[in-house]
Structure 1
Amino acid sequence: MAGTGPAKRPSAAQRRVLAPLALAQFICSFAGSNMNVMINDISEDLDTTVQGVQVAITVFLLVMAALMIPGGKLTDRYGRKRCFLAGLTVYGVGALLSAVSPGLGVLILGNSILEGIGTALLIPPVYILTTLLFEDMTSRARAFGAIMALGGIGAAAGPLIGGLITSWISWRAAFVFQALVIALIIVLSRHLEDPLPADPRRSFDTVGAVLSAAGLVLVVMGILAADNDVWLMAGLLVLGALVLLWFFRHVRALESAGEEPLLSVSLFRDRTSNLGLITQNIQWLLLMGTSFTVAAYLQVVRGYDAIETGVIFTAATLGLLTTSLAAQRLAERRPQRTLIIMGFDVTVAGIVVLVAMVDSFSSAWAFAPGLLLVGLGLGVMLTPSVNIVQSSFTEDRQGEISGLSRSVSNLGSSLGTAVAGTILVAGFTTRSYAAAMVTLAVLGLLGLTAAALLPHPARSARGVAGTRAPHSD
C-alpha cells in the first residue's frame, strides 16, 4: 500500500474518472431505496400486495449481495472497465424493462434480477479503480469520501426523488430516470482507463460462486418467510447455513490444492478488517431497514402519498449530506474508530426518537428529528468503515476485498429490509412499527459493540483524512 505522504490534490484526470465512479454508486444506492415511497402506487398499478413489493425490493438487494463477490473476481479476468461497462448496460436494460412492466413478475425480472446483476458487475470496479487510480492515501480518502457520500445521499434521497417523480409523473418514470443516469455514466466513462491489464487465463471458481450465492439467498428468503411459516423459515435458514458451510469447506479444499478459490479465507484473518466489515453490514442494515419501515408505515398506516413521504425523508438526506461533506475535516481531527462509534451512537439515538415520537404527535413531521439523527450518524461512519477495510489489504487483493466488502454491505441492506419489513408487514399497526424499529436499535447496539472492539489507533495511524496503513491499528 502507498504510505501516508504529503497531501496531493487529485489531478484533472483523476477528477474526470471519479465522476462516473461516484455517480455509479449514487444510482445503485438510489435504486435500493427509491421504491420505498412507491409501495402503494406499485401495488395498486400491478395489482399486487405490499408484501409483493417488499419481496421485489429485498430480492434486488439480495442479488447484489449474492453476486458481488463473483463480480469482484471477474474484474481480474475480464478487466475492471469492461466489467463496469457491462454492468451499466445490464442495469440500464433492467431499468427500462421495469419501467414498462405489466406485472410484479416482470418488475422483479427487470429491477430485482437484471438491475441486481448489473450492480454486482459495476460496483466492485468502482472500489478497485478508486484504490488503483488514487495511489496516495490522502487523495484516496477524498475519493472514497466522495463515492460514499454520493452513495449515502442516493440511499437517503431516494425516497424524496422517487416521491417527486412518482407524484408528478408516475412510478415508472423513476426507472426511466435511472436509465438516463446510466446513459450519462457511460458517456462520462469514455475517459476511464484500466491501470491493470485483464488476465483471461485467470481461473474462476464457478462452484464457489454458486454455493455462496445459494447460501445467501436461502438465509434471506428464510427471514422473509418468517411471517408466513415458521417451519419454512427454520428450514431455509438451516439449509442456507449448511450451504455456506459447504462453500467455506470448498474454499479451503481449493486453497489446500494450490488452486485459486472464489474467496480466500485469509481475508478473514485481519481482525480490524473483520470488525470493519461488521460495522459496514450493520450501517446499511440500519439505513435500509429504517427507510423501508418508516416509508411503509407512513403510506400504509398514516395514508401519506409518495411525495409527502419523500419530503419527510429530506431530514435524513440533509443529515447525511451534512456529515458526509464534513467527513474529511472530521477524519483529520478524530480517528476512524471514534467516528464509527459516534456514528452508531447518533444513529441508535435517532431510531429511539423515531419510536418515541410515533404516539406523541399525529403530524408526519414528528418523524423528522429521528430521521435527521439517523442521517447524521450514518454520514459520520460510512466512509471510515470503508477506509478501514480497503486499507487493510494490498493492491493485489483489492479485487477480492472489494467484492467481499460490497457483498457484506449489500447483504446488510437486504437483511435490513427483510428483518424490519417482515416484522412490520406481519400486521400494519403502530405496535408492529415500534417492534421493527426496536429490533433495528438492538442491531445498532451490536454494530456499536463491534466499533468499540476496533483497535485504538497508534499515533502514526492518525494520518491525514483518517486513512491507515495495513495493520497499523
Structure 2
Amino acid sequence: MRADSARGLRGVLVPLALAQFICSFAGSNMNVMINDISTDLNTSVQGVQVAITLFLLVMAALMIPGGKLTDRYGRKRCFLAGLIIYGIGALLSAVSPGLGILILGNSIFEGVGTALLIPPVYILTTLLFKEMTSRAKAFGIISALGGIGAAAGPLLGGLITSAISWRAAFGFQALVIVVIVLLSLRIKDPVAPDPTRAFDTGGAVLSAVGLVLLVLGILATDNSLWLALGLVVLGALVLTWFVFATRRKERAGREPLVSLSLFRNRTSNLGMVTQNAQWLLLSGVSFVVSAYLQVVRGFDAIETGVIFSATTLGLMVSSLAAARLARRTSQRNLILVGFVLTIVGVALLLVMASGSATPWSFVPGLLLIGVGLGTMLTPSVNVVQSSFPDQQQGEISGVSRSVSNLGSSLGTAIAGTILVAGLTATPERSYALALAVLAVIGVAGLIAALGLPRHPEPPPASVAPTARPAQN
C-alpha cells in the first residue's frame, strides 16, 4: 500500500479507529452492569469498582512500555498481538465464575492487550498521514470514536445486559476484535522493526509499580486512611526513583524507557494535562452517575444506559463538527470552550439532578458534558502529537496514551471512592461531593488550557529513518 493512496489510507484508518472505539467502550460499559455483576458474582459495588479501575490502571501503567516495544517488534505486530490478548481477556471475562477471574480477564488481559495495541494506532496514523490536514482529520476520527466508545459504553452495555446478560457484552467485544484483526491484515508497517533496539526493563517495572501504588492508595482510602497514605507516598517515591534512574541512563548514553527531554516541551506538557483532565472527567462522571442511578435510584442497566445516551449524542455531534470548527478557530480555543461546557454540565448535574425524582433531570448536564468533551478531545491529541517529529512518535504516543488512561483510572478511583464511601449512609451527600471534586478538576484543566499558545510552533524537522521500509 502506498502512503499517498487516499483509498488505502482510509482502509487502514477503519481498524485503527475501531480499535480505539472498543478499548474506550471497555472502560465504561461495565458501569451500567454494577448491580448485575455484583449480584451474579456475589461481590459488592466496591469490587466492581476495583475491577474497572484496575483495567484502566493496567493500561496506563503499561502504555509507555507498549509504545517503546513498537520500535523493537514493529507497529503492526504489536497491534495484532494486543488484539489477540485483548480478545482472550474478553472471553475469560464472559465466562468468569467469580470476581477473581473477571479481574484476570478484564483488568489484566484486556488491560495488557490495550497497552500493546493503542500506541500503534497513534504511531501508524502519524507515520502514514504525512500531510497535517489529513493527519488532523485522521486523529479527529480516532479520537471521536474513542470518545463515542466511552460515552456509548453505558448505552450499548445496558442494551446487551438487559436483552441477554452482562456476559454477552464481553462476547460483543470479542466479536469486534475478530473483525478488527481481519481488517488489520491490509496494514503494512511503514518502517521496519529494529530487533536490536534496547528496551529499558527496569524503567518499565519502576514506572508501572509507581503508578499502580499511587492509584491503589486512592482506592484504599475507604478502608484505611493510613494504608492509603502509605501507598501514595510509596508510589511517589518509586516514581521519583524512576526519574533519577532515567536521568542516569541518559547521562551514560543508554536509551531509557522514555526520554526526559519529552517533558521539556511546554505545549505538549499542557496538552497532556488537558488530556488527563478530560478522560478523568469522562470516566469519573460515568461511574458516579451510573452507580448512583443503579444503587440509589434503583434503575436497571437499560434505563441507566438510555439516560447516558445524552452524553453519547452530545459527543457525537461535537466530534463530527470538530473538523469544521478547527478551520474557524484555534485548537486552544476549542479546548477552552470544551472545558467551560463540561464544567457547566457537571454543575447542572449537581443543581438539577441531586434529590430530583425524575431521571430526565440528568439529561441537560450529561448532554453538555458530551458536547464539551467532544469539542476538545481531538484538539488535545493533535496538540501533543504534532509537537514532536516523526522519530519521537513512538515515545510521545506511549506517554500521551498513558497520561490519558491514567486520567480514566484516577477518575474512577477518586470520584468512585468518594461516592462508594457514603453510598449507603449518605448517598446524596456523597454524590454531590464526588461531582464537586470533578468540577474542581475541570477548572484545573481549564487553567492548563489557558497556558497553551494561540499559534503553536511546528515541530523540528524530522530525521529520515535509517531503517529500510518494511516489505510486509
Q: TM-score when scaled to structure 1?
A: 0.95
Hey, what does 1:464 align to over in structure 2?
none
1:469 aligns with 2:458: yes
Q: Which residue identity lines up with residue 350 of structure 1 in the other structure? A: G
Q: Deviations over 1:261-280 (max 9, x none)?
A: 00100000000000000000
Match for residue 351 of structure 2 among 356, 363, 366: 356
2-side partners of 1:313 and 1:116: how far apart? 24
CA distance in 2, matches of 1:470, 1:445: 29
CA positional deviation for 1:357: 1.0
> What letter corresponds to residue 430 of structure 2 in structure 1?
S
CA distance in 2, matches of 1:323, 1:240: 38
User: Is 1:311 the equivalent of 2:306?
Assistant: yes
2:449 is matched by which residue type in structure 1? A
Match of 2:437 among 416, 424, 439: 439
Other-structure match for 1:387: 382
- Name the amino acid aligned to 1:450: A
Q: Which residue of 2 aligns with 1:57?
A: 52
Deviation at 1:470, TM superposition (A): 2.1
d(CA) in 2 for partners of 1:10, 1:136: 12
Aligned 8 A contact 1:420 1:436 in 2: yes
Deviation (angstroms), 1:365 = 1.0
Which residue does 2:172 correspond to in 1?
Answer: 177
Q: Is the 8 A contact 2:64 2:257 kept in 1?
A: yes
Once the two structures are superposed, residues 401-427 of structure 1 have per-residue CA deviations (whole angstroms, 9 ceiling, x without a partner) of 000000000000000000000000001
User: Is the contact between residue 415 and residue 438 of structure 2 (CA under 8 Å) also seen in structure 1?
Assistant: yes
Aligned partners of 1:418, 1:350: CA distance in 2, in Å? 21
Q: Which amino acid aligns with 1:306?
A: A
Cα distance between partner residues in 2 of 1:360 and 1:369:
16
C-alpha separation between the residues in 2 aligned to 1:266 and 1:150? 31
Equivalent pair of 1:353/1:369 in contact (CA under 8 Å) = yes
After TM superposition, the structure 1 = structure 2 runs for residues 54-453 of structure 1, keeping only pairs within 5 Å, are 54-359=49-354, 361-428=356-423, 429-453=427-451
Write the distance in 1 (CA, Å) between the matches of 2:201 and 2:460: 32
Letter in 2 for 1:72: G
Q: Tell me the SS of whatever aligns to 1:313.
A: helix
Deviation at 1:123, TM superposition (A): 0.1
Whichever residue aligns with residue 92 of structure 1, its letter is G
2:466 matched residue in structure 1 = none
Paired with 2:276 and 2:428, the residues of 1 have a C-alpha distance of: 27
Identify unmatched segments of 5+ residues in structure 2. 462-472
Q: Matches of 1:228 and 1:190 in 2, distance apart?
A: 48
* Residue aligning to 1:455: 453
**Is the CA contact 2:28–2:150 (under 8 Å) kept in the aligned structure 1?**
yes
Aligned residues: 456
Q: Is the 8 A contact 1:9 1:139 kept in 2?
A: no
> In structure 2, what residue type is equivalent to 1:216?
L
* AA partner of residue 319 (structure 1): G
Segments of 5+ residues of structure 1 without an aligned counterpart are 1-7, 462-467
SS in 1 for 2:153: helix
Q: Which amino acid aligns with 2:67?
A: G
The DSSP-based 3-state class of the residue aligned with 1:454 is coil
Taking a change above 3 Å as real, the CA distance of residues 205 and 377 of structure 1, as seen in their structure-2 partners, is same
Structure 1 position 471, deviation (Å): 7.6
**Counterpart Cα distance in 2 of 1:310 and 1:35:** 11
1:438 Cα shift?
0.3
Query: Partner of 1:307: helix, strand, or coil?
Result: helix
> Would you say the 8 A contact 1:272–1:471 is kept in 2?
no
Give the whole-Å Cα distance in 1 for the aligned partners of 2:354 and 2:297: 12
The root-mean-square deviation of aligned C-alpha atoms, in Å, is 1.2
Give the SS at the match of 1:192.
coil
Give 1:436 shift. Answer: 0.1
SS in structure 2 of the partner of residue 199 of structure 1? coil
Distance (Å, rounded) in 2 between the aligned partners of 1:444 and 1:426: 22
SS at match of 2:130: coil
Report the CA distance shift for 1:10/1:353 in structure 2 as closer, same or farther (over 3 A).
Answer: farther
Aligned amino acid, residue 186 of structure 1: V
Alpha-carbon contact 1:79-1:198 (below 8 Å) kept: yes
Q: Percent identity between the aligned chains?
A: 71
TM-score, structure 2 as length reference? 0.95
**Is the Cα–Cα contact under 8 Å of residues 354 and 432 in structure 2 kept in the other structure?**
no
Displacement, 1:9? 9.4
Name the amino acid aligned to 2:458.
Answer: A
1:12 aligns with 2:1: no
Write the letter of the residue equivalent to 1:209. Answer: A
